[in-house]
Homo-oligomer: A and B are copies of this chain.
Amino acid sequence: MKKEQIILKAIEILAKKGYANTTTRMISERAGIAVGSLYTHFKSKDAILDHIFQNEYKKRAVYIDHLKEKECKHIEKIGMFLDFHFDELGENRDLMTVLVRESANPELQHLDGVKEFTEQLPLFFKSILEKAMENGEIRKLNADLTAEIIFSTIRGTVCGMAAKSEIQELEKIKKELKKFINNAVKNQEEFK
């Protein structure tokens, strides 16, 4: 599908240059089409980014629904979500860079896809944290804030670090990050 082909090439450039420094001409050239042809597939430059975020949000929403029904400790689900996230990262580093960077771009908060992505995912973390607290799996904490912190930690880590690293490093980073978050929230009492 041509539309997806454009998205793929757009992500490459967006990852490297950032949204504001990516021109429609760059995208069209990389995609091997005329500038005008971009507009037969997307209403505007914005719409390309929106499409990317919508897509990725949907993927995550589906996975989260799947997680919700899983029978395991709630807190493990955050680890699983991290796995999912890092798998994606392994497969498409540029995509993650774009998601992470532009989701913090103030000029793009009007896009539905971006809004969903930045608002819904923390809500997921929050609900997991709340259930894990009820179950005594983790220490008492402010679910709202901590959910945002986790979201931010993941976002920041991916942006600042993972994007620059070699593939073989990813596994190490993931392990470190999981341990980091796990310790951060876990119920210290059970060690006593």
Contacts and interface: CB of A to CB of B under 8 A. Distances in A.
B183 A146 contact: no
Most chain B CB atoms below 10 A, which of A17, A149, A161: A149
A188 B139 CA distance: 14
Contact of A153 (B153, B173, B183): B153
Contacts of A20: 18-21, 107
Contact of A155 (B107, B139, B156, B172): B156
A115 interface: no
B161 A157 contact: no
Interface string A93-134: 000000001001111000000000010000000000000000
Contact of A106 (B16, B104, B149, B173): B16
A180 B107 contact: no
A184 interface: yes
A149 B157 contact: yes
Contacts of A152: 153, 155-157, 159-161
Contacts of A141: 176, 179-180
A44 to B, nearest CB: 16
Contact of A183 (B19, B118, B172, B183): B183
Contact of A160 (B101, B148, B188): B148
A152 B18 CA distance: 19
B142 A172 contact: yes
A25 B20 CA distance: 18
A117 to B, nearest CB: 12
Interface of A: 16-21, 101, 104-107, 118, 139, 141-142, 145-146, 148-149, 151-157, 159-161, 172-173, 176-177, 179-181, 183-186, 188, 191-192
